[in-house]
Amino acid sequence: MKVFKNHGTIGILTGGGDVPGLNPAIRRIVGSAIAQNYKVLGIKRGWAGLVEMVRSRNVDNRDCFEEFSQSVLNATSMHVETFLHSSRTKPSELKADDVPEHLKDLYNEPTNDLTPEVIKNIEYLGIDCLVVIGGDDTLKYALRLHNEGVKIVGIPKTMDGDVPGTDYCLGFSTCITRTIDLINTLSVSAGSHERFLVIEVFGRYAGFTAMLPAVVGVATRCVIPEYKFSVNQLAELLVEDRAKSPDHFSTVVVSEGAKFNGFEPQPDATGHLTHGCGEELAYRLRKASAKYNGGKRIDTIFQNLGYLVRTGCPDFSDSIVPIGFANVAMESILNKNFGVMTALRSGKYTTSPLEVVASETKVVDVEKFYDTELLCPKKAEFSGRQMMWMTSL
């Protein structure tokens, strides 16, 4: 019988928030790697798996990693959520309470950098290359490991669509598709009661998820993190939109990171927002509307779409792009091209240097694509532009 040589060990993890499209990418990488005679280890719960594991064969580490096989892939074929699970653990900034018990004697500062333990654990597992699927936070830490000698291939994913170096990130299309669908559904109630419809969506630093629903016409106005707006200005515009609407309602889409005079979104310890401005904005719009509506206030319907747009089955783009990204990732591994991130640029699959994640910021180009007087996207020339034409990059 012919004996096939093991080509090495590939580790794979998903970090940060979950998005549709993670499992198709994982399955394609694992299937391709096994076919190429690689051993594949799935790291559980993002970076947490590499922080919490114990380097001993006498310890049960099944909550931290598992070896993949074809039977494991078959058993997870119907899973929608990431079957590796995820977390927002950041090993370089771990609070004292989050340090694993077996490491508390070594790391007892208020904030601790456990990167040395992560690298030791990677070496202990015999991982030759680590495939990291995540957003800017996850990929920035992957860059840190790359700079310290770990062979890394990244795959970008985020609902916000704001990872630099690529025109597309896993999860973005499904987010926009669901946002449009839910706005259309909620518009029924807004029209029935002749109200303002205030929809809050993802977008800490970039307003892409608010801009695109406005572009396709399910909202008349959008407010984004890149431009600080006035509540009175928005109220006047929404009153005008409502008066012109046959169904007597108007809609604004609000990025969670949007800010207006008197309100700044507050980040938590991980840098993520505890809440956006949507609910407070809906309250203030109701009060401000009377000034532009003959002294009569207009009621609002507020809805934070949140996890409704990041769960469930992926749409077409988030079903096919993960396959392309996974194939590019495997090609990079086979070609020993590390320190890169898979990417889509001008409609073509390629790679970008992982450094781009830390060196650039991908946001809406306000001057070119956002009308600060009308609080909506400008009409843009589409010819020759990438799909995400409103980016600053």
Instruction: Give the DSSP letter string of 174-211.
Output: HHHHHHHHHHHHHHHHHHHHT-EEEEEE--SS--HHHH
Sign of the alpha-carbon dihedral angle for 42, 78, 24, 162:
negative
pLDDT at 265: 72
Residue for token pair 């783009």: 317
pLDDT at 164: 94
Distances in Å between the Cα of 265 and the Cα atoms of 61, 116, 223, 257, 392 are 39, 34, 13, 6, 22
Strand order in the sheet with 348-353: 65-67, 38-43, 8-14, 129-134, 152-156, 340-345, 348-353
Q: Is residue 241 annotated as part of the catalytic site, yes or no? A: no
pLDDT of residue 69: 81
Q: Which residues contact 375 (CB under 8 A, 6 or more apart)?
A: 221, 222, 223, 229, 233, 234, 237, 252
pLDDT-flagged residues of the chain (< 70): 1-6, 72-81, 266-275, 381, 386-393
Strand blocks (E) in 52-146: 65-67, 94-95, 111-112, 129-134
d(CA 142, CA 355): 10
Candidates 160, 162, 241, 318; catalytic one = 160
pLDDT value of position 247: 94
Which domains are assigned to the chain? Answer: 8-170+312-359 (3.40.50.450), 173-309+365-377 (3.40.50.460)
* pLDDT for the residue 352: 97
Query: Hunting for tokens 């559980």 — which residue is that?
Result: 44
156 has which bridge partners?
134
